[in-house]
């Protein structure tokens, strides 16, 4: 399974693609979309959405994970972050890719084991879990962490889904045989 993680930001939006094969995880690509600082917000949003759309088309993820917004002391910053998240959601949905969302606390808990982990701790674990040896930008580390969080959760919920499908089939068989 291949997942694109996104760490939204109006100045820098981190991205990272992680692929799971069996029990192994690999970083396919990572980086940040950084529109020119002098652009007005609508133009920055357009540039972010366009570039993320290109990344989706190039990497063909099965799911896009967008970090949920957290609340800043600045209402303006929270609103701008919401606009960026909206642009990212539209970029994914327009290309027919399912979207998952996790809070920063959920992501840190999944990757580090501590929902209050620092950015340095997240980056350290991403380096170890994905065997990243060269420079790792904080935005890209957070995006890779979001993708990894989803892959961890998908592994945990897949057996439950399989059990529920099996249970539904069994219930159907029993109902047909009048043994319910």
The 10s digit of each residue's pLDDT in 43-87 is: 999 999 999 999 999 999 999 999 987 766 778 888 899 999 999
Each residue of 98-157: pLDDT tens digit? 999 999 999 999 999 888 898 899 999 999 999 999 989 999 999 999 999 999 887 655
Architecture, CATH, for domain 2-176? 2-Layer Sandwich (3.30)
Residues classed as catalytic: 7, 67, 139
Which of 41, 35, 43, 89 has the alpha carbon at shortest distance from 67? Answer: 89
Query: Exposed, middle or buried, 76 (CB in 10 Å: 0-12/13-18/19+)?
Result: exposed
Helix (H, G, I), strand (E, B) or coil at 77: helix
Question: String of b and e for 2-30 (b: at least 16 CB within 10 Å)?
Answer: bbbbbbbbbebbbbbbbbbeeeebebbeb
């Amino acid at each position: 399974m291949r997942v694109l993680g996104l760490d939204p930001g109006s100045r820098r939006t981190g991205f990272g693609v992680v692929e799971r094969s069996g029990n192994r995880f690999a970083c396919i690509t990572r980086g940040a979309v950084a529109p020119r600082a002098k652009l007005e917000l609508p133009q920055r949003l357009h540039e972010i959405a366009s570039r993320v759309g290109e990344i989706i088309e190039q990497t063909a993820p099965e799911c896009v994970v967008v970090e949920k917004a957290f609340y800043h002391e600045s209402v303006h910053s929270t609103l701008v972050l919401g606009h960026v998240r909206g642009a990212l959601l539209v970029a994914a949905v327009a290309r027919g890719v399912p979207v998952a969302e996790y809070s920063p606390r959920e992501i840190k808990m999944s990757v580090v084991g501590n929902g209050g982990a620092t950015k340095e701790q997240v980056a350290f674990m991403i380096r170890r879990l994905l065997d990243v040896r060269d420079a790792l930008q904080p935005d890209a580390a957070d995006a890779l962490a979001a993708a990894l969080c989803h892959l961890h959760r998908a592994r945990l919920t897949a057996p439950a889904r399989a059990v529920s499908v099996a249970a539904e089939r069994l219930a159907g068989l029993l109902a047909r045989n009048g043994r319910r």
